[in-house]
Amino acid sequence: MREIKVMVDNSVKVSDNTVTIGNYSLRFKGEGLRIWIENGELKVEAKNRAMINTVKRKVLNLMRGIKEPYKIELVARYLHFPIKLVFKNGVLEIQNFLGEKKPRYAKIPEGVKVEIKGQNLTISSPDKELLGQAYTNIKRAVYIKEKDRRIFQDGIYKVIT
């Protein structure tokens, strides 16, 4: 058995291989996995090193995300038909994409904050995985099929700063 220690504060709670930090919980499953807190340190014990490092990295990412949430800035680009973005009830509605009559939808997981200012869209969350899932759902919603992507370049793109 291998074990690793991670310094944590009082907001971290562990019960039955579930690590809870504030309102967010991470559930881990693995062979021989045991997670506990002792003397202000999160200790992880498992049969293989990969599982230990996975638990350590996910807990550290969530702790960092709670201090300063991760965010992705996106921008809606179009050539002919202006795209309108509307967020309501956990769903991002993309209207008038490529001049289509029916809007396209992207489900945004609970725990991800969405801000829309015109054509700019910012998604943020303390949980890196939820943020990545929200970004993937948005990219999937604006995927263009059966058209030449070199000509039809409308879409929602990540802003690179």
Mean pLDDT, rounded, for 133-158: 92
Specify the higher pLDDT residue, 41 or 96. Answer: 96
pLDDT at 2 over 60: no
Terminal-residue alpha carbon distance, the chain: 44
The reply to whether 70-158 shares the fold of 2-67 is: yes
- The CATH class that applies to domain 2-67 reads alpha beta
Tell me phi and psi for residue 135, to 5 degrees: -60, -45
- The CATH class that applies to domain 70-158 reads alpha beta
* Average pLDDT score, the chain: 89
Instruction: For residues 30 and 138, give the distance between their C-alpha atoms in angstroms, rounded to a whole number.
Output: 31
- Predicted pLDDT of residue 137: 97
Quote the Cα angle for 72-126-20, to 5°. Answer: 160
- Predicted pLDDT of residue 67: 87
* Residue length of the chain: 161
pLDDT tens-digit readout, 97-116: 999 999 999 999 999 999 99
pLDDT at 47 over 90: no
Annotated domain spans of the chain: 2-67, 70-158
